[in-house]
Structure 1
Amino acid sequence: MAQLLLIDALNLIRRIYAVDCEQSGLTDEQIIQSCYQRVKNATRKLLKTSQASHAIAVFDGDKSWRYHLYAQYKATRKPMPQQLKDNLEIVARGFTEQNVKAYFPVQDEADDILATLAYKASNHGVASTIVSTDKGFLPLIGEHINVYDYFKQQVISSDDVKSKFSLDKNQLHDFWGLMGDKTNDIPGVKGVGKKTAVDVLSQFSSVENALNSPSLHGTIRKKIETDIDNFILSKALVALRTDIEVGFTLKELRL
């Protein structure tokens, strides 16, 4: 039975690199070498844990469609440290030396490519494991798609999502559409925070249902209706695409 391992490359690398930077007395070169070795070890462990038959590590391309849709997207996010950026190909050998394809798209974000691969595999009954701490993957969790947090050594289940957000995974796009996502500079609806968003979705299950219901509180209705464009925009920005043209087949990812 095929098992597809999908690694969110920079999500893994940047966390490992941050830990290496905290080690005192290391030169820049030693930090890069340590990061490369630890990425290689992590990849070896992940291949073993997931019992993968196919695998890929996907990096981020430059300025995806989200930047064109919304100019402020990730505007305040810290850029990748220059030293890491300049040595990314050395660190990426941590994947390729374990026979895992390292894929550098031109424009697309890793999240959309990984979501596309997981979705396509799922449609063919192939199980995949997405390795990332990025919450954007959580709505994809299903019969054939797992999300794995390497740093907690934990598969995240639908129940974990429910206990963390007090909502079903299928409601997360509406949730982030309402409250926004500060880490990516996604605006959400002005004046709607986490508590209100959870209350609305717990009661009405979706924003559409809430707006169609006469029992939605007047103040909340006004906030959503006034800022409906930002809700629609934010919901579009947080949803991962599953239709990216990747230009290679599952066969080419075989280990």
Structure 2
Amino acid sequence: MTTTPTVVLVHGAFADASSWSGVVTELRSRGIPVVAAANPLRGLASDAAYIAAVASRIDGPVVLVGHSYGGALITVAGTAENVVGLVYVAAYVPDEGESLGELQGRFPLSPLVSNLREGGYPVAGEESAIEVTIAAEKFPEIFAADVPADVTEVLAVSQRPLSTTVFTEAAAAAAWRTKPSWALVAGADQAINPDVERFGAERAGATTVELDGASHAVAVSRPKEVAGLIVDAVTATTA
């Protein structure tokens, strides 16, 4: 009896689970079970623990898929016992003990960094913390240059903010050291330097594809290609 892994999709910063809609449709059309998780975006350790809990509740094997910051989360959460593969989509692929700031610092910064807008938010029992979004007027060119304008307008005003603590927290584990991985590099990414994506994928020994001209929002603009890589991972990990 074969067991097809359930795909758990983990969105990144400035987005929500609906950003996977096209990918979900493609996977479901092929009979692959899928869950699009809600990423809290409040801290690397706590967010990874949440994603690990989502994976652990699933009866059977899981392939974790992370976009952008979600890549850091699946790197840590992927140590969950039933996770059998990792797929990185225009994503960070940190090593154990490495922060996203350290990983980014190896390469020139992307245009995203100078176009973030800060705001405070309350934290129970503590001083307020800082979260960031992308300046709305810069969102289309930085995040979704290959997505129709009417869609980017909605994405820009519905961003989910990211806590700045995620850039300094070190990854507690690197599941790619013991589990197979796949990676998609978005060749025209303006949010994460594509060299950051390439470096992480190569270091992890991931099976890698690169989409020329693809923006950071590649799951929105090119869902068939993204789903195709995920299908490869599911096929390879089906027992």
TM-score between both structures, scaled by the size of structure 2: 0.28
Of structures 1 and 2, the larger Rg is shown by 1
| RCO comparison, higher one (Cα < 8 Å, 6+) | 2
Name the structure with the higher strand share.
2
